[in-house]
Amino acid sequence: MPKSKPSIYDRYMPALYAEPTDQPAYWFVFLADTGKLLLNEQEGLAALPVATQVEELSFTPIRSLYLGTLEGAPCYTAEAPEETKAPNGYDFLPLRPLYDRLDEDLFHLAGRALQILNWDDTHRFCGRCGTTLALADRDRAKVCPNCGLSHYPRLSPAVITAILKDGKILLAHAPHFPDNMYGLIAGFAEPGETLEDCVRRETMEEVGIELGEIRYFGSQQWPFPHSLMIGFVAEYAGGEIAVDGEEIEHADWFGPGELPNIPPKVSIARKIIDWYTEEYGNRS
């Protein structure tokens, strides 16, 4: 199964409230309504802007939130107004393509920062009584001062599955995939079902086949906008491929040496397919 990957917690310590300090902080600054991240051309941690106050970066934020410490220094996320111009030497860049440029743990931390900003924006008022929400004291949550309802950051669990049969992997093409790309069967978990239930349901709905053993592979946060992708490897048990024609246009079995265009390395789908290729490509 997969090799261990860097954790965001190797260098980052989450916290809700900042201790008073004049120490410069790292800032994950996102441009409003675009999800673009402010970076310079340096590598790794040095690509992030550093400032004691975010106003030193020549804009007044719509919102800013403390994230904790990064390499021992304070760490914040902030949303810049849509008309904000990047400071000299910096640019606002789409987050998704930055996977190959940022360290993997920094990419995941940037995803966390973006999701927390989105949550703060969309949870300003109580969904039960409409009262303005306040930040909770002990959790990353907001609490209604009127009715007491707690509002946590939204997280949507989704399964993604490699289905194996006689040494081949099932790959599927969805209508929205660019460049004739093929990926894995995936879908969001529904209330009342386990993750394994979800794997079986999505597979039956999208390609009409039954599964045998299901094994956990790994997980990946996916902040576009608030998913948690949970990967599995499953054994084929029966049935013929019958695509639904909506979620999936075409699906087929592929061997390690005959793969079509597959997802980029940013995704857990690619990690699972790369594992399959390495594992089964060496078998005679």
pLDDT in tens, 197-214: 999 999 999 999 999 999
- Answer yes or no: same fold for 8-122 and 156-281: yes
pLDDT at position 61, please?
Answer: 97
pLDDT at position 1, please?
Answer: 60
Has domain 8-122 been given CATH number 3.90.79?
yes
Cβ-proximal residues to 154 (8 Å cutoff; 6+ apart), any chain: 119, 122, 226
Residue 142 has pLDDT above 70, yes or no: yes
- Identify the CATH number of the domain defined by range 156-281: 3.90.79.10
Cβ-proximal residues to 191 (8 Å cutoff; 6+ apart), any chain: none
How sure is the predictor about 36, in pLDDT bands with cuts at 50, 70 and 90?
Answer: very high
SS3 54: helix
Residue 144 has pLDDT above 70, yes or no: yes
**Average pLDDT estimate for 28-36:** 96
Indicate the domain borders of the chain. Answer: 8-122, 123-153, 156-281
Residue 120 has pLDDT above 70, yes or no: yes
pLDDT at position 29, please?
Answer: 98
pLDDT at position 238, please?
Answer: 97
Q: How many CB atoms lie under 10 A from the CB of residue 89?
A: 10
**Average pLDDT estimate for 215-221:** 95
How sure is the predictor about 141, in pLDDT bands with cuts at 50, 70 and 90?
Answer: very high
Across the chain, mean pLDDT equals 94
How sure is the predictor about 3, in pLDDT bands with cuts at 50, 70 and 90?
Answer: low
pLDDT at position 248, please?
Answer: 97
pLDDT at position 224, please?
Answer: 85
**Average pLDDT estimate for 98-104:** 85
Cβ-proximal residues to 69 (8 Å cutoff; 6+ apart), any chain: 12, 13, 15, 75
100: which DSSP letter? G
User: What is the per-residue pLDDT across 165-187, written as a single tens digit (0 to 9) for each?
Assistant: 999 999 999 999 999 999 999 99
The predicted model scores a pTM of 0.88
User: What is the per-residue pLDDT across 67-85, written as a single tens digit (0 to 9) for each?
Assistant: 999 999 999 999 999 999 9
Residue 284 has pLDDT above 70, yes or no: no
User: What is the per-residue pLDDT across 231-243, written as a single tens digit (0 to 9) for each?
Assistant: 999 999 999 999 9
The proportion of the chain whose per-residue pLDDT surpasses 70, expressed as a percent, equals 98
Residue 11 has pLDDT above 80, yes or no: yes
Triad 184, 273, 114: Cα angle to 5°: 70
- Amino acid present at 10: D
